[in-house]
Structures are given as structure tokens and as C-alpha cells.
Structure 1
Amino acid sequence: MAWNVRRLAVGWWAGREWAGVRRSVHNAFEESGPERDTLVQSLKAAASAIVAWALTGWWLEAPMALLAPWTAVALVSGTVYQSLRTGAQQFAVIAVGTVWASAAMTVTRDQTMAAMLLTLPFMTLLGNYRRFGSQGILGATTALFVITYGSSSTWTVGHRLLETLIGAIVGISVNALVLPPVHLRSVRDRLRGLARDSADLLDTMADGLREDDALHRAEDWHTEASRLMLSLQSVTDARNWATEGARWNPGGRLRRTGPPPPPFAEDIRWSRICTRILTIARTLNGIDDEDTDLAAPPSCFLVALAAVLEQAACICAEEAEQPGASTERRCREQAFEKAWAAHRTLADNFHHQQGPAAPVEGALSLETRQLLTDLAPRR
């Protein structure tokens, strides 16, 4: 019985993975997106390795030609600037590893174990130097190649440095001149995803507030609202990636880049929106907490609050379709008018309420007003 359960679990996992692979392959060939970017960068890395090997192993007949394709593959990075920076770091650390290991072989008269004792502790420590970044480990691995290969003549060391330099030039050239990566779409896509996630959460909260036990899912809403802040961080990461991708990148002249990403003001605006949603969810969760002395608002107030959140969800959904665009603005303005009408009803409920729930109602009324202000159609 247990064996059958494991087989079913493995089969389900394999089916899910296969479906994900098929979906990624389909997206790579059918539309622009991260899947196609990954395909292009992978093919470029393979091509750069083949070219580097052809130059060093086939044409120059270098004694350790594998250094060239190894370096070339590593330098086909996500941005041209990153390729150049990584290339300088990699060549520097490989040069140090090669020279140090060759000197150790000379001192120890080609004794492999003694050369490793002289080389590896220093190179692994040097690999943690922050100027080398993530390339620091390559110093130790290159030193291992040199020591195990067993030759430390000046001619051999020069060839290894030449092979590394050829690989770096090939990798950087391929990345910069063959469909250079331009990261302009990621910011727009992630802002759209953030608007869509906000719409889904606000809609879920609105539905829950109309139920008899309106606050029983408040903790889940607070958790989902916290995840919105993580999505907001991904927008910031994409913005930084796009900025770096434009540095020293000939892509603007060599390929179509599409429209520029939304302005940075949109990031700030959505930061405020996500903060408002998180505050509303936290307040509702605080009411549901058994250890708090906050009084829950009456059902009529929660229903009015649900109407406001529902219209706010409509505004976010509209923006998810056309983030930052002037088209379809009329639809958003109509949703905004309905949202303000719902908020006036909510405010009327608050003004007629008295008792211990008044502070909570005032906080929710204020936060929803600020949310609608931040969601207002841009002029």
C-alpha cells in the first residue's frame, strides 16, 4: 500500500513537472517573455563555448583549451554590464590562480600534494575577497587544473592566460553583439502582476466580509497582504535589473526594445497602495484576535466596507490589463466613481455609529479613503 502511494506521488510530481516543461517550451516559441529570454541566452552560451573551443583547441591547439569555453560560458550573463564586470573579475582571479599554482609547482618541483598544500589554502581564502564577487572560487578551481595538469613552464602559463582571455573576449562579444539582453519588459510585467494580486486579495476580502462570520479568514488576508510586499520587492529588483541592463548595452541600436518601463513614480505609488492594503488586513486581523480588546464593527459597517474593497479590486483589475496606459481610462474612472460612492456610504455608517467599535471603524474608513486616493486615475 505504501509503495503504491509513493508511486502515485512520484507520478503526480512527474506529470506536474512535464506539464511545466511543455508550458515553458510553448511560451518560448510562441511569445516574448522570460522563457524565450532563457532560451536565447542558453543558445548564446553554447555558441560562445563552441567558438572559444574552435579558436583555442582546434586552431591554436592550446594545451589546456578547456579554459576558453569554460570562461566563455560563464560570461554570457543576464546583462552586458554584468558580462564585462564578471569578465574582469574572472580573468583576474584565474590569472592569480594560474600564476600562484605554477609558482607552487616550480618550488615543489612538480610534487602535486605539496603544491596543493601551498596553493589551496591561500586561493580559497583569496576567493572570499569581495572585489572578486561570485567569481572568487574560480581561482582555486583553476589552480587545481594547473596542478593536476603537471606543467609549470612560462610558456604553459602564458598559454593558459591567453586561453582565458580568448574565452572572455568571445563570451562578452557574443552577449553584447548577438541579441544583447534588454530588460525593459520585467518591470511592466511585475507591476501588472502586483495589480492583479492586489485585485484578487481585495475581492477575496470583500466576499469574506459579507459572510456571517465575516472575520474568520482575517489572518489569511493578513498573510496574503504581507506577500504583496514581497511582490513589491520583486518590482524593485526588476527596476534595478533594467537599469543595469541598459549600461554599456548596444541593444537599443541592435534590436527592438519595445516601450520603456513605467516611470519610477509607479513603484512609489504601488508601495503606498500595498501598505494601505496591508494596514486594512492587519486591522481586520487584530479585531479577530482573541487577545485584543478591540470591538468588532457591526455587520452593516462591514458590508459597506466590502463594497468599497470590491470597487477597489475592480480598479486594480483594470490597471492590471493596461498598467500605466492612457487607454481604457474611462472604465477605471467609472469604477473609481462607484468606489467613492461606496466610501460615502461607509463614512455615513461610521458617523452614525457609537461605542467601543468607533476607533476601529474610523481607522478602516481612513485607510480605505487613502487607498482610493492612491488608486485615483492619473492625469
Structure 2
Amino acid sequence: MPRFPARAASLLQYRKDPVVMWTIRATAAAVLSYAVAVRLSSEPAPLTAPLTALLVVQVTLYATLTTGVRRVISVVAGVLIAVGFSAVVGLSWWSLGLIILAALTVGQFIRVGEFVNEVAISAMLVLGVTQLASQAWDRVLETLIGAGVGLLFNVVLAPPVWVDPAAESIVGLARRTRNLLLGLGEELDGPVPVERAAGRLYEARRLDQAVADVDAALRQAEDSLRLNPRISEGLLARLVLRTGLDTLEICVVVVRVLARSMTDLAKRRKEDEPLFPADTAQALQELLADVGAAMVSYAVLVTTPVSDNAEQAENRLAAELSAAWDHRETVADMLLHGVQQHPYAWQLHGSLLAEIDRILDEMDLEHRTQRLLQELDRAAAARHERSARLAGLRRLARVGRGRFGQSARSARREG
């Protein structure tokens, strides 16, 4: 009995996985399209319908609607090319080469973008099972059935909103960066070999790939919010997450520069000489810990819905930023005195403070509000421009209908 909650939690975890959900939805859409095609098509095995459904169904509704048309065009083009070839030649190595060449060429002309290969793939698959030109319309019908079922499947049963995985990845990036800052702080009061400092720098550089992974998860979350009937304020949620990730990305870049400064400082120290005196190292360690904690609180803030929890996260971030600024002033005084003992390192000491200042400035609450308002104004301007363009098209259409009606009336009077 105790195992049941664990299994239930495991199933819920799988439900949050976009790959798992896409696999289930694509399978269901393919089977449904096959069942419909069996009833409507004269082919005994209408496999083109589930093939098209697999190509059309995407992780998000927005991706399905935006890419579905191009996928349908690419599949239909491949089917028509295949049935055209099957009416003239059979399947052989040279006919296969010709059909691939023709399909890729046609795909470039019809501008299906990244789905050019699917023109050739559809043509090859259909050529393998089609040898009669009379089956062309059946293949086209199956393609339309698969496309229609795939589109309706995602419209009627809207895919989940992938905001939670994106939010978890943003918080995970902040925690990973905090751990790196804590690791840097632990080594400040003793001798640091250049190899170890270079290892920290390499770890900081690997955060770039983590940022790319988070960006991919966020783009998927943004697509899941677009055109989704479940979401009423999708634009605000998208902008909050996007501006939050942009800030964290800047902080990650600055942390990498900070690790570089530490490495350069280790190169200038003697093998048995610590990077900083004990009191300075302690103060700098506390400062880096405050900066890391503030980054995590910032990530929690931008991924928390507008509620009491969000207000608590904002208060926590404000307190941690205030503590970090206080420690920063203490560290600045200590580094100023340390320059007298190591005048050759004053540029590196100054760069450390400048990098920490940049991170704290980026996470400032007022800065975050201004950036969010700018993005909202930009989105509102873009929406207004689209509305104005559509209004202009409607006016042109009304003018065209008016002129057509006037010409028709004049023709009737003359007649």
C-alpha cells in the first residue's frame, strides 16, 4: 500500500514530460486518423493518414497550427510526386534517385521551409506502396484526413501548458549558478592552484549550455501559452518568464567573467599564498553567498504567479539584495586596503566589484519593473500595428466590393 503514492507521483511526473505527452498524443491521433481513413478511403491499408497525423501533431497547439499547413503542403506534394512517378516507372534505384531529386527541388519551390525533407520522405513512402496512378486521389484523401485529424486533435484536446517545466528549469539554472558562487567563495582564504581555478572557469562556461536548454524549455512554454483557450493572460506570463530569463542570462555571463578574474588572480599569486587575507576572504565569501541566494530568489519571483507567494518572494529578494549591498561596501573597503599590499592586482580587485555590482543591478526590483513595462509597451505597439494593417485590408476590401457593385449596376443599366 505505501508504494501507491510513490507510483502515483511517478505517473504525475511523466505527465509533466513534454516528450511523453507528445508520444501519447501523436499515437492516439495516428490511430484515430487510420480508423477514419479505413472508412473513407478505398485503400485496404491507408497508412498515409497516420503518417500525416504523426507529422502534424506537435507538443503545443501553436506549433501545430503554425507548422501544420506547411507540413500538409509538403506531404501532399510528396504524395503527388510519388503517384506521378508510379504511373510511369516502377521502384528501382534510379527511379528512387529521381523521385528524391524531384521532391527536394519541388520542396524548395513551394517554400515549405524546414519541411523540405518531408516532401521526399512522403514521396518515398508512398512510392513503396503505390504502383497505380489511379490511387493518387486516395493518397491525397488520406493525407487530408491525417492532417485534419491531427489539427482537430490538438484544437479539441488542447495540449498541456508547459510553464511548470520551464519555471523549474529557470530556478534550476539559478541554483546551479549559486552553487558555483559558493564554490568560488570557499576557496578564497587559501592557496588556489591555477588548475582548480581554471576548472571553476570551465564550470562557469558550461552554464552557457544550461542557458540554452532553459531557453528551449521557455520557448516551448511560450508556444503552449499562445492560442491556448485555457490561458487568459498568456502575454503577461510569457513576458515575465522571458524577461526573467534574460536577466539570469546576463548574470550567468557576469559570473563567468567573475570566474575568469579569479583565475587571473590565482595566476598572479604565489603557490602558497592565499587569494585574499582571512578577513577579506570571509567578507567576500558572505557577499558571494548573498548574491547566489538573491539569484535563486529572483528566479523564484519570476516563476511565481501573482499572489501572496509572489509578494513573499519579492520581499525575500529585496532583503537579500539589501544584505548583499551592505556586504559589498564592506568588501570594497577591505579590497581598497588590500591594494596597498598587492598594487599589481588593483585592476582585478576593481573588476570583482564591478561584476558583482552588475549582477545586483540586473536583479534590482525597479530595474525588473521597467524592463517588464518596456516589453509590454513593445507588445502593445506590435498588436496595434497588426490591427491597423488588418483594418487597412478591410477598408480596401470594402472599396473593392463597392467598385465591383457599382460596375455591375452600370452594366445592368447599359444592358
TM-score category, normalised to shorter length: 0.7 to 0.9
1:372 aligns to what? 360
Post-superposition Cα deviations, 1:92-136, rounded to whole Å, max 9, x if no partner, equal: 22222222232223334x575664354233224545679334433
Pairwise CA distance, 1:338: 3.0
Percentage of matched positions with identical amino acids:
22
2:250 aligns to what? 272
Quick one: which amino acid aligns to residue 264 of structure 2? Answer: G
Pairwise CA distance, 1:26: 6.0
Q: Classify the secondary structure of the residue corresponding to 1:252.
A: coil
Structure 1 Cα separation of the partners of residues 127 and 362 of structure 2: 63
1:222 aligns to what? 201
Q: Per the alignment, do residues 122 and 368 of structure 1 end up closer, same or farther by CA in structure 2, a change over 3 Å counting?
A: same
Structure 1 Cα separation of the partners of residues 353 and 359 of structure 2: 10
Pairwise CA distance, 1:323: 4.1
Tell me which of 289, 294, 312 is aligned to 1:327.
312
Query: Does structure 2 conserve the Cα–Cα contact (< 8 Å) formed by 1:296 and 1:357?
Result: no
Pairwise CA distance, 1:77: 0.5
1:29 aligns to what? 11
Q: Classify the secondary structure of the residue corresponding to 1:209.
A: coil
Q: Per the alignment, do residues 183 and 263 of structure 1 end up closer, same or farther by CA in structure 2, a change over 3 Å counting?
A: same
TM-score, structure 1 normalization: 0.78
Quick one: which amino acid aligns to residue 163 of structure 2? Answer: L
Structure 2: tracts of 5 or more residues without a match: 1-5, 304-309, 370-415
Structure 2 Cα separation of the partners of residues 182 and 326 of structure 1: 24
Q: Per the alignment, do residues 87 and 367 of structure 1 end up closer, same or farther by CA in structure 2, a change over 3 Å counting?
A: closer
Pairwise CA distance, 1:65: 0.4
Tell me which of 349, 355, 362 is aligned to 2:334.
349
Which piece of structure 1 moves more, 169-178 or 216-225?
Answer: 216-225
TM-score, structure 2 normalization: 0.72
Q: Per the alignment, do residues 318 and 126 of structure 1 end up closer, same or farther by CA in structure 2, a change over 3 Å counting?
A: same
- Tell whether 2:297 aligns with 1:312: no
Quick one: which amino acid aligns to residue 212 of structure 2? Answer: Q
- Tell whether 2:151 aligns with 1:169: no
1:242 aligns to what? 221
Q: Classify the secondary structure of the residue corresponding to 2:190.
A: coil
Which piece of structure 1 moves more, 266-275 or 217-226?
Answer: 266-275
Pairwise CA distance, 1:252: 2.9
1:123 aligns to what? 103
2:266 aligns to what? 288
Q: Per the alignment, do residues 38 and 101 of structure 1 end up closer, same or farther by CA in structure 2, a change over 3 Å counting?
A: closer
1:213 aligns to what? 192
Which structure is higher in helix share? 2
CA RMSD, Structure 1 to Structure 2 (Å): 3.5
Q: Per the alignment, do residues 299 and 174 of structure 1 end up closer, same or farther by CA in structure 2, a change over 3 Å counting?
A: same
Pairwise CA distance, 1:150: 4.6
Equivalent runs, 1:62-73 vs 2, <5 Å: 62-73=43-54
Q: How many residues align?
A: 349
Q: Per the alignment, do residues 335 and 81 of structure 1 end up closer, same or farther by CA in structure 2, a change over 3 Å counting?
A: closer
Structure 1: tracts of 5 or more residues without a match: 1-23
Query: Does structure 2 conserve the Cα–Cα contact (< 8 Å) formed by 1:297 and 1:361?
Result: no
Pairwise CA distance, 1:229: 2.9
Pairwise CA distance, 1:308: 1.2
- Tell whether 2:237 aligns with 1:260: yes
Q: Per the alignment, do residues 100 and 291 of structure 1 end up closer, same or farther by CA in structure 2, a change over 3 Å counting?
A: farther
Q: Classify the secondary structure of the residue corresponding to 2:132.
A: coil
Query: Does structure 1 conserve the Cα–Cα contact (< 8 Å) formed by 2:34 and 2:47?
Result: yes
Pairwise CA distance, 1:339: 2.1
Q: Per the alignment, do residues 74 and 319 of structure 1 end up closer, same or farther by CA in structure 2, a change over 3 Å counting?
A: same
